[in-house]
Amino acid sequence: SVIADYAGLTSGLICVYRIWMKRQLPSPLELLKKTSQGLSRFVKLNRDIFLRSLCLQATFTFMTFQGASFGDDVVAANAVLMSFLMIISYGMDGFAYAMEAMVGKAIGAKDKEELNQSLIGTFFWSFNICLVLTIAFAIAGSSLINMITTIPEVKSQAEVYLPWLIAMPLVSMWCFLLDGIFVGATKGKDMRNSMFVATCSFFAIFYLASGLENHALWLAMLSFMAMRGIGLGVLFISQWKKGEFLA
């Protein structure tokens, strides 16, 4: 496998070299000088997204470890309910990716009208999808839990905390969509800062409501999603009014 990997790398480099020479492209050092500003922005964006992802993973890791302290049945129930969160994530990630592409294209073209149409259309369909998920979780949430686990104790615990997941789609849709908007606009610093605030609110709310035990965890998670959306929403509206978002 190692030999195959290096053989593929070598053949790829040879192909690149031949095409490079055939088209008489400038040397890599010259290209690097010309694109250094763009590369610097790209590296900073990746740094900010990495820090944002660390905060996101910290909250989910804390959910698992803290849930375990409430007992085996509770941590198992939380794992079951995380499947609901994954359904929301899979449903919304497609819209977020679409927003990244459309926003990037509109900003590159300085086309405010195209950006407006992209935002309105995506928010409309996202809201409808999340409304359907909310209704589905409310009506068929218990049935879905029964499909995931057959352990009576885990099922009963999961149903206790199911209302938090019923509220989750319409609350979390904003952070998914706004993430896509800010990635498309390469505004990593804003994403990073809003995630820092949301993460701090997650831990603050949990410890303030820790007497509620596992309910406090889900309250903190719902608040975390809400704060992500609120933070990015405030920044978006502020920049939009000032005409800075397309800049």
Q: What is the distance between the alpha carbons of residues 88 and 169, in angstroms, rounded to a whole number? A: 6
CB of 161 within 8 A of CB of 196?
no
Residues 6+ apart with CB under 8 A from 1: none
Which pLDDT tens digit goes with each residue over 10-68?
999 899 888 888 887 777 667 666 666 666 777 888 888 899 999 999 999 999 999 99
Tokens found for residue 198: 């949301």
Average pLDDT over residues 202-208: 96
pLDDT at residue number 205: 96
- Domain limits of the chain? 45-242
The pLDDT, as a whole number, for residue 187 is 87
**Mean pLDDT, range 164-188, rounded to an integer:** 91
Distances (CA, A) of 197 to 73, 143, 173: 31, 36, 18
- Per-residue model confidence as pLDDT tens digits over 66-117: 999 999 999 999 999 999 999 998 888 888 888 888 888 888 777 788 888 8
The DSSP result for 15-36, as a single string, is HHHHHHHHTTPPPHHHHHHHHH
CB within 8 Å of 203: residues ≥ 6 apart: 62, 220
Structure token pair of residue 157: 């615990």
Q: Can you give the pLDDT at residue 154?
A: 93
CA distance 180 to 160: 33
Q: Indicate the angle between helix axes 28-68 and 72-109, nearest 10 degrees.
A: 150
Supply the pLDDT for residue 33: 65
Measured distance CA(76)–CA(74) in Å, rounded: 5
Please tell me whether the overall predicted TM-score, pTM, comes out greater than 0.85 for this model: no
pLDDT digits over 113-156, tens only?
888 888 888 889 889 999 999 999 999 999 999 999 999 999 99
Exposed (0-12), middle (13-18) or buried (19+): which is 218, by Cβ within 10 Å?
A: buried
